[in-house]
Structure 1
Amino acid sequence: MAAQAVSLSVLDLCPVPQGSKPADALHNSLALARHAESTGYRRFWVAEHHNMTGIASAATSVVMGYLAGGTERIRIGSGGIMLPNHAPLQIAEQFGTLESLYPGRIDLGLGRAPGTDPATAQALRRGRADGEDFPHMLEELRRLFAEPQPGQRLRAVPGAGLEVPIWLLGSSTFSAQLSGRLGLPFAFAGQFSPDYMLAALRTYRDNFEPSAQLQAPHAMLGINAYVAPSRDEAHYLATSHQQAFLKLIRGNPGPLPPPVDDIEALWQPHERHSVMSTLAGTLVGEPVTVAQQLADLIDRTGVQELIVNSSIYDQPMRHRSYSLLMQAMREMQ
């Protein structure tokens, strides 16, 4: 089996396992980042979510500093920062600080969704429209990262003149088109929006124009993966994530639950359809099976990178899943 060289990265939602505290989740994230670094993963990204008791990465740039300080080589990034929640100057200063402390290791992935419920979004955005001003805010942020012009009064210190790679994240074609037109790398959220995956990637490539940052399209795809020595164990581990999505669609999200032997006993048929449709395309199984799934996915999408979320309750099993996934990728390539 042969395939193009594709990098693997980690998307960590900093899940809070049931019975644990956010502090435990943050310590788990650092341990996972160190494991990913030693295993050969390229990037380790954390995402901005608010008012969610099962996710501990609300202060994303602070978490990134903790992770970068505890690792040596792996790139640390945001997957992503929800730009309309913040003033562009604040993000330029925060990521300028991170880049100054950990040069050449920081990625700035940007999204336009609130990353939370409507009431919390209102508390964060204070009346701003839901993402409508994203292109304008992005332009302002990019100016703040550029070399200062003579007479320029507003500067990001640190930040101005630093080369922090900007990625656009999306779960539809909006950010795909924008990132292509601006010549930026694009990351698609296939881990929860598989239906738009191929259309978004095609839109990105069709609209791509070379830029100073990027000469050719560069796409990364988010996926979920659960790898274990046996198929049955892999599917068992995946039930934690399935339960988390079930709680979300029922309107009562919470900490990551432990896996169960019989997930079918927990949901109604329409709930099963909703969860499984959202998580369609998840890589699950033993390494040989997952290697074939990887080859098929890469062949269908043509992406340059995969960024992988594995919401596994037991931390040693989570580390093992990422190790086996890397093993599957290396055997495939």
Structure 2
Amino acid sequence: MTAFSLLDLVPVVEGGTVPQALANAAAMARHAEECGYHRYWVAEHHGMAGIASSATAVVIAHVGAATSTIRVGAGGIMLPNHAPLVIAEQFGTLDALFPGRIDLGLGRAPGSGQRVAQAIRRTLETAPNAFPRDVLELQSYFADDGQTGIRATPGAGADPELWILGSSLFGAQLAAMLGLPFAFASHFAPDALDQALAIYRRDFRPSAQLDRPHAMAGFNVFAADSDEEAEFLASSQQQSFVSLRTGNPRQLPPPIAGYRDSLPPQHAAILDHVLQCSAIGTVGRVARGLAAFIDRTHVDEVMITSSIYDVAARRRSVALAAEAMESLRVGA
């Protein structure tokens, strides 16, 4: 049966603060654990006023301490920003603190603009083989196989679950080649979803970590007790996407009634395209949307994300999404 997990961008809402966002993240991770979610992931972004998860490993430690059974991790770490040894030490530490619960998703995008990326890692290498080489180096530190001539402490012998993330065909190809699980960012970049999954499954090579393909895809859920309320709640993320795509990123804004209908046609088209992997509405409507997505993709896991301004409404949406997934399980 398809597993379901939660991606939390640790949003800083308009009028809110970073301490509030981090406290909300710990509470949301506990809530996800209680609702039966399999994983709770945060993602590395930099230079964005509305996202508080830039120090990703620190945030994972924060939510790991607030939970007891749910897997916690990065969805993901943008490896070009870091020396692999540093990531081995960070996630070796997390694995020592929370054994058997740590995930390490790896992406090759900077998670920021070029200027911010340069400030993070002063010398940026753009060679096509840089990311695969860094992944192999990171694996070597965890395996403690001596290939680098350096022993990561912590890190040597650690066993975080490695994932390759992607929004294009490259990540699918690399995950298949290395025999690692693959997560596709269809919640904001849906274009190559079907082709990427097909390539990953076709070209997969078994590895010590995984004997057969294991795929996850992102899906937006805005659930409420009525379709009208869910549409209203979804307008916060819709505003954020339009702002981002038009070069004006901002903190997560309050919802606006009728927002989508107020947009010019070109902005409405951008929004409909980028958020096409979404379900908005009551439990029944969300369950139908999730069922159609799973039937289309045959993914092993769905990574649900739900950026909602009001934290109580977001908790309700996360709980209703879990109800929707459970209804599919019972129906199956």
Common topology (TM > 0.5): yes
Give 1:28-39 correspondences, 5 Å limit: 28-39=24-35
- Alpha-carbon offset, residue 131 of structure 1: 6.9
8 Å contact from structure 2 (residues 141, 148) kept in 1: no
8 Å contact from structure 1 (residues 205, 217) kept in 2: yes
- Alpha-carbon offset, residue 264 of structure 1: 3.6
Aligned to 1:244: 240
1:145 correspondence with 2:133: no
Q: Distance in 2 between matches of 1:91 and 1:131?
A: 20
Deviates further, 199-208 or 153-162: 153-162
Q: Distance in 2 between matches of 1:223 and 1:16?
A: 21
- Alpha-carbon offset, residue 192 of structure 1: 0.7
1:312 aligned counterpart, secondary structure: coil
Aligned to 1:195: 191
Aligned to 2:71: 75
Q: Which of residues 85, 88, 100 in structure 1 aligns to 2:81?
A: 85
1:180 correspondence with 2:199: no
1:194 aligned counterpart, secondary structure: coil
8 Å contact from structure 1 (residues 48, 115) kept in 2: yes
Deviation string, structure 1 residues 52-110 (Cα, Å, up to 9, x no partner): 00000000000000010111111101000000100000000000000001100100000
Amino acid at match of 2:70: I
Q: Distance in 2 between matches of 1:264 and 1:321?
A: 20
Amino acid at match of 1:279: L
2:218 aligned counterpart, secondary structure: strand
Q: Which of residues 303, 328, 331 in structure 2 aligns to 1:332?
A: 328
Task: Give the 3 Å change call, closer, same or farther, for CA 265–6 of structure 1 in structure 2.
Answer: closer
TM, length-normalised to structure 1: 0.96
Aligned to 2:39: 43
Give 1:148-297 correspondences, 5 Å limit: 148-149=145-146, 153-264=149-260, 266-297=262-293
Q: Distance in 2 between matches of 1:167 and 1:332?
A: 26
2:234 aligned counterpart, secondary structure: helix
Task: Give the 3 Å change call, closer, same or farther, for CA 329–264 of structure 1 in structure 2.
Answer: closer
- Alpha-carbon offset, residue 42 of structure 1: 0.6
8 Å contact from structure 1 (residues 13, 47) kept in 2: yes
- Alpha-carbon offset, residue 126 of structure 1: 2.0
Structure 1 unmatched runs, 5+: none
Q: Distance in 2 between matches of 1:184 and 1:61?
A: 21
Aligned to 1:135: 132
Aligned to 2:302: 306
Task: Give the 3 Å change call, closer, same or farther, for CA 72–303 of structure 1 in structure 2.
Answer: same
- Alpha-carbon offset, residue 258 of structure 1: 0.7
Q: Distance in 2 between matches of 1:41 and 1:68?
A: 14
Deviation string, structure 1 residues 212-238 (Cα, Å, up to 9, x no partner): 000010001111111111111111110
Deviates further, 197-206 or 121-130: 121-130
Task: Give the 3 Å change call, closer, same or farther, for CA 131–313 of structure 1 in structure 2.
Answer: farther
Amino acid at match of 2:301: E
2:72 aligned counterpart, secondary structure: strand
Give 1:52-71 correspondences, 5 Å limit: 52-71=48-67
Aligned identity (percent) is 51
2:256 aligned counterpart, secondary structure: coil
8 Å contact from structure 1 (residues 114, 130) kept in 2: no
